[in-house]
Amino acid sequence: MIWFLITSGLFLGWSLGANDAANIFGTAVTTRMIKFRVAAGIACIFIIIGAMVDGSGATHTLGVLGDVNALAGSFTVALAAAVSVTLLIKRGLPVSVSQAIVGAIIGWNIFTASPTDIKSLLNIVTTWIVSPALACGISFLIFNIVKYAVVKSKIHMLEIDIYTRYGLILVAAFGSYSLGANNIAKVVGVYITSSPFKDMVFFDFINISGVNQLYLVGALSMALGVITYSHKTISTIGSQIFKLTPISAFATISAASVVLFIFSSDSLSKLLFFAGLPAIPLVPVSITQAMVGAVTGIGFAKGGRYINYKILGKIAIGWLITPVSAALICLVSLFFVQNVFQQKVVNPIKFEVTIPVLAELENSGVSTAELSKLEGKEYQNQSEFRQSLNQINIDKERTIFKIFQAAKIENYRIDSNLAIQKLSPNYFSREQIETVKKLHNEYFKHNWQISDRLKLLSEEWRYLPDIKQNKEINKELTRKYEMLFSIFKVQENR
């Protein structure tokens, strides 16, 4: 049953491999610089590597957008996204899997009365606008630089052909790595909370987490999509928007790959921060949109006269339809899965409004004047709690999201033995680990209670002032807290 419930995620991965991976090497294949088999082989290898090595950054953002906490719910969300993508692919449109999965998650949020994190949603939607524009500018720049270098160096035409082929192979590998790192979030992101895989330990020192197993399975499904179907989807981007030459193909793939890497690399984000530049949000972006922007940039570099604006308009319509159709399909599918097939699509979460909860919200900047009317009450699920909030005129999504986070009852128990096993001294400081061990056998209803206790006991668990210089340090501390919450959360089967 478990494997059946993750098949929709695998189907989504297959759809992504069939559609989005073609964007990486489609232009190279349609310009006959690389054979399809060679391109597909490179893509498969580096998609898997990218997903395993650098796939966690964008996955976290998608997980915050919608905490799909039941396996049947994850199955339905992934299925809705995959179905919407497949239907539009059949219509000949290179659609965005990113938009499909976001639309499906919002559909789940609506169905289960769970609040949507508006900040994460705005970050993701902003990239839908920024990524094609950025790719357009980068491809325009790369094309003109390469063109200038070729003219000035007076390289023989045969040498240009050889260099271009090698260049296309390198950028296809880089692009496939970036695709795996950024897009694995779309394939398995909705399964993170409800992951059916358990941590595996080999030889007492090799630990393969359940999340890494998810990444591997998802990456393999993407690779299967590349092998079996991507050759049927390479023509639209590779040749219909603008006829590409081998050099322009190199520029488009390079530009799209750079854009994808920018929004998926945690190391690059840290490097930019320490260089005094704005940190890039790690969000799942659309390689389709990046490629369309990159190809359009080449068109502008050549004067813009031969850009097929009709095809661009058709693609834009597909982008508008994708999230809406995915959300609607998800809503209908969730109804049938829950009521016809009698599957649990959401695990109910209990909430309570107490004096400590109200104090926590006040500290985070949320006014509790109206919420205090619910003091002393406990709620059995998301829908019941949201209805009560609406009845006292609390209806702003941002506010509801913060209230849900503070009031939800999750139950944690600290175990010093588990702390020794799970908290790596290579990541946590000695003092941080020792401080956690001091809470041995203490019980907490809310995750913020753990952080409050640790802050009282040790400076190393306290956030630094919220200024630009401390942003990356505080971000790293947040990750450590999230790891603690995951380790010490009381599970029914524990």
pLDDT of 84-126, one tens digit each? 887 887 777 667 888 999 999 999 999 999 999 998 899 888 8
Q: Is the pLDDT assigned to residue 493 strictly greater than 50?
A: no
Q: Is residue 493 part of a domain?
A: no
Same domain, 328 and 355: no
Q: Is residue 454 part of a domain?
A: yes
Structure tokens at 35: 């054979």
The per-residue pLDDT for 242 is 52
The per-residue pLDDT for 418 is 92
Same domain, 448 and 304: no
The per-residue pLDDT for 1 is 63
Percent of the chain with pLDDT over 70: 93
Same domain, 104 and 202: yes
Same domain, 313 and 382: no
The per-residue pLDDT for 30 is 73
Q: How many CB atoms lie within 10 A of CB 205?
A: 6
Q: Is residue 223 part of a domain?
A: yes
Rounded distance between C-alpha atoms, residue 325 and residue 103, angstroms: 8
| pLDDT (average), residues 283-301 | 86
Q: Whole-model pTM?
A: 0.86
Same domain, 57 and 171: yes
Helix, strand, coil percentages (3-state) for the chain, rounded to 5, are 70, 5, 25
3-state SS assignment for residue 208: strand
| pLDDT (average), residues 287-292 | 83
Domain boundary among 290, 319, 339: 339
pLDDT digits (tens, 9 = 90+) for 194-238: 777 877 777 666 677 788 888 999 999 999 999 988 877 665 555
Same domain, 141 and 252: yes
Same domain, 147 and 16: yes
Under DSSP, the state recorded for 43 is H
- In terms of pLDDT, which residue wins out, 274 or 457? 457
- In terms of pLDDT, which residue wins out, 34 or 102? 102
The per-residue pLDDT for 2 is 67
- In terms of pLDDT, which residue wins out, 244 or 220? 220
Q: Is residue 30 part of a domain?
A: yes
Q: How many CB atoms lie within 10 A of CB 449?
A: 16
Q: Is residue 494 part of a domain?
A: no
Number of residues assigned to the chain: 494
pLDDT digits (tens, 9 = 90+) for 174-195: 999 999 998 898 888 888 877 7
Tracing tokens 């753990």 back to the chain, one arrives at 450
State how far the alpha carbon of 344 is from the alpha carbons of 274, 314, 336, in Å. 45, 38, 11
Q: Is residue 344 part of a domain?
A: no
DSSP of 263-307, one letter per residue?
TT-HHHHHHHHHTTSPPPP-----HHHHHHHHHHHHHHHTTSTT-
The per-residue pLDDT for 380 is 96
Contact 85, 15 (CB under 8 A): yes
Q: Is 203 left (phi over 0), alpha (psi -120 to 50) or beta?
A: left
Residues in Cβ contact with 192 at an 8 Å cutoff, skipping those fewer than 6 apart: 59, 63, 211, 214
Contact 237, 94 (CB under 8 A): yes
| pLDDT (average), residues 261-270 | 83
Q: Is the pLDDT assigned to residue 477 strictly greater than 90?
A: yes
Same domain, 250 and 290: yes
The per-residue pLDDT for 4 is 82
| pLDDT (average), residues 155-160 | 80
Residues in Cβ contact with 3 at an 8 Å cutoff, skipping those fewer than 6 apart: none
Confidence of residue 46 (pLDDT cuts 50, 70, 90): very high
Residues paired with 200 in a beta bridge:
208
- Split into its structural domains, the chain has a count of 3
Residue from 327, 263, 269 nearest 132 by CA: 263
Rounded distance between C-alpha atoms, residue 326 and residue 345, angstroms: 17
pLDDT digits (tens, 9 = 90+) for 441-457: 999 999 999 999 999 99
The per-residue pLDDT for 64 is 82
Q: How many CB atoms lie within 10 A of CB 403?
A: 25
Same domain, 168 and 110: yes
Residue from 252, 20, 316 nearest 308 by CA: 316
Rounded distance between C-alpha atoms, residue 121 and residue 110, angstroms: 14
Kindly tell me the number of DSSP H helices and DSSP E strands found in the chain: 21, 7
Contact 484, 427 (CB under 8 A): no
29-33, 68-72, 322-326, 386-390: least confidently modelled range: 29-33
167-176, 252-261, 268-277, 314-323: least confidently modelled range: 268-277
Domain boundary among 358, 378, 409: 409
pLDDT digits (tens, 9 = 90+) for 116-157: 999 889 988 888 889 999 999 999 999 999 989 888 887 877
Pairing of strands 408-409, 443-444: unpaired
Q: Is the pLDDT assigned to residue 241 strictly greater than 80?
A: no
- In terms of pLDDT, which residue wins out, 389 or 11? 389
Confidence of residue 494 (pLDDT cuts 50, 70, 90): very low
3-state SS assignment for residue 350: strand
Positive/negative CA dihedral, 327, 331, 336, 342: positive
The per-residue pLDDT for 162 is 86
3-state SS assignment for residue 88: helix
Q: Is the pLDDT assigned to residue 78 strictly greater than 60?
A: yes
Q: Is residue 18 part of a domain?
A: yes
Pairing of strands 350-352, 378-379: antiparallel
Same domain, 229 and 268: yes
State the residue range of the domain holding 399: 350-409
The per-residue pLDDT for 342 is 93
Q: What is the mean pLDDT of the chain?
A: 87
Q: Is residue 345 part of a domain?
A: no
Same domain, 253 and 394: no
Domain boundary among 312, 339, 366: 339
| pLDDT (average), residues 400-424 | 95
Same domain, 41 and 144: yes
Q: How many CB atoms lie within 10 A of CB 263?
A: 27
Phi, psi for residue 38 in degrees, rounded to 5:
-65, -45
